[in-house]
A and B are shown apart, each in its own frame.
Chain A
């Protein structure tokens, strides 16, 4: 049975993921609360073995895409693998980002797909769960993970050697 206790426990993860998409605390919390409400409303229809965390994160992701489409903030580009990748024009140089320290500026240089996959990883999701959330094959996730980690490392290493 899906209960409020589950979402109380998941809240920090869901909020952090939403925040990584929105860069806006209020919008992130609204997105999460909206998804929690919808899941609780239809909990009787959901399968017992549902991975509720992955399902909630996927719902937040989809809601954010819909929200962004409405507000015309995003461009949708087709990647070579056929997946839809999101480029957020506001990501780079945004002054809304709330993480502290040098990591912020490295992280903010990454594209939307990198930030998404790295955040999911940092929140403890396995590659398999990331595949489910971003609707991609394991090879794609591994490839993105390597590429994004390399970018992040180059930024950090370059700064250290500067």
Chain B
């Protein structure tokens, strides 16, 4: 192939070792007898060396404080776990107009009638009655009696979930405070996936899902419930 047939694109690719074998061998042969072509290829090689010497990072190491920051991020994420999944819905408007996770992009128009946590299909804890809302900062007033009801014996099993709010464990028949973050905590009974649902009148809607290994403490974090009239951010 005459040297003038080699485009700049081909020559730079040749210099960078990115050209196919056939074209590479053609250029390799051509530069043996074409000094001008050889110089063009050499100019591309020189710029490649210059770029790698100047912009390359082969001799750089990650500073310890950056390693620490990255490890801390991973620890925090691992402890919080999870993938949050939520879709807008008008499901369950009775007691809360909004229910969201704090610090992640999740805003929903859910209201809580109850919710359920299930791990790996072997354990289902259902809050079959509406959560008991303690009025604090808003004008909301529960219209009926509400309480948390769990299936299973909490005292008998380490695998039963509970809610933690303001540092307090809220168990069966406990009350949930309005406008305050709370977490769902559960130890995974087996390896596998788990899901958190809203449950009311037998209907359920998936809110959060994730994976866990047996015995892992799942800390489903930063849920917040608040009422119709006052949005808390």
Q: Which residues of A contact B (CB under 8 A)?
A: 3-4, 7-9, 11-13, 15-16, 20, 29, 33, 36-37, 40-42, 44-45, 99, 101, 103, 107, 118-119, 121-124, 126-127, 139, 142-143, 145-147, 149-150, 152-153, 156-157
B54 partner, pick from A11, A103, A147, beta carbons under 8 A: A103
Contact A146 B12 (CB under 8 A): yes
Could you tell me if B57 and A12 are in contact, using CB atoms closer than 8 angstroms?
yes
How many contacts A-B (CB < 8 Å)? 105
| Closest Cβ neighbor of B10 among chain A residues | A142
Contacting residues, chain A, for B56 (C-beta < 8 A): 122-124
The 4 closest A-B CB pairs, nearest first, are A122-B55, A146-B8, A12-B57, A12-B60
CB neighbours of A16 from chain B (8 A): 55, 57, 60
Q: In the bound complex, do residue B74 and residue A40 qualify as a contact, i.e. CB atoms below 8 Å apart?
A: yes
User: Could you tell me if B69 and A20 are in contact, using CB atoms closer than 8 angstroms?
Assistant: no
Interface string of B199-233 (1 = CB under 8 A from A): 00000000000110000000000000000000000
Q: Are the CB atoms of B70 and A36 closer together than 8 Å?
A: yes
Q: Which residues of B sit under 8 angstroms from A4, Cβ to Cβ? A: 67, 70-71, 73-74
A44-B210, A149-B44, A153-B47 known; 7 other A-B pairs, CB under 8 Å? Answer: A4-B73, A8-B62, A12-B57, A126-B18, A142-B18, A145-B16, A149-B47
Interface string of B51-70 (1 = CB under 8 A from A): 11011111011100011011
By secondary structure, the A interface counts as helix
Q: Given A8-B62, A20-B55, A33-B69, are A149 and B74 neighbors across the interface (CB < 8 Å)?
A: no
A143 in contact with B74 given A99-B55, A122-B54, A152-B47 (CB within 8 Å): no
Q: What would 25 A/B residue contacts be, using CB atoms closer than 8 Å? A: A3-B74, A8-B62, A8-B70, A8-B71, A16-B55, A29-B66, A33-B73, A36-B73, A44-B210, A45-B83, A103-B50, A118-B55, A121-B16, A121-B51, A122-B51, A122-B55, A142-B13, A142-B18, A145-B9, A146-B11, A149-B12, A149-B48, A153-B44, A156-B46, A156-B47
Closest B residue to A143 using CB positions: B9
Bound-complex Cα distance A29 to B73 (A): 14
Interface of B (DSSP majority class): helix
Name the residue on B nearest A3 (C-beta).
Answer: B74
What is the interface of chain B, defined by CB distance below 8 A to chain A? 7-13, 16, 18, 43-44, 46-48, 50-52, 54-58, 60-62, 66-67, 69-71, 73-74, 77, 83, 210-211
Question: What chain A residues lie within 8 Å of B74 (beta carbons)?
Answer: 3-4, 40
CB neighbours of A29 from chain B (8 A)? 66
Residues of A contacting B9 in the complex (Cβ-Cβ under 8 angstroms): 139, 142-143, 145-146
